[in-house]
Amino acid sequence: MLKELDRSKLLTPSELVKRWELSLYPVSNVTLSRWRRDSKGPKFIKIGAAGRVFYLLDSVQEFELHHNIGLTTNA
């Protein structure tokens, strides 16, 4: 498990939606929620008592490579 979390290496669901907004593979928060429920999509963690969701940047980048998500900007 992660001992120290570097916030710059984590994305909230909204940040991920924004990252992929102009890509060839845009998704919504609803889609991300469904993927979490179905164990699909990039790896994520839940932090705190409220279980706030964060996506690991390394996992997001790996997912983008393996699923040909063409980013049109330097996100």
Domain assignment present for residue 27? The answer is: yes
Say how far apart CA 74 and CA 49 lie, in whole Å: 33
Domain assignment present for residue 2? The answer is: no
Question: What is the reported pLDDT for 7?
Answer: 85
Domain assignment present for residue 74? The answer is: no
Say how far apart CA 26 and CA 8 lie, in whole Å: 22
Domain that holds residue 35: 8-54
> Which residues in the chain come in under a pLDDT of 50?
1, 75
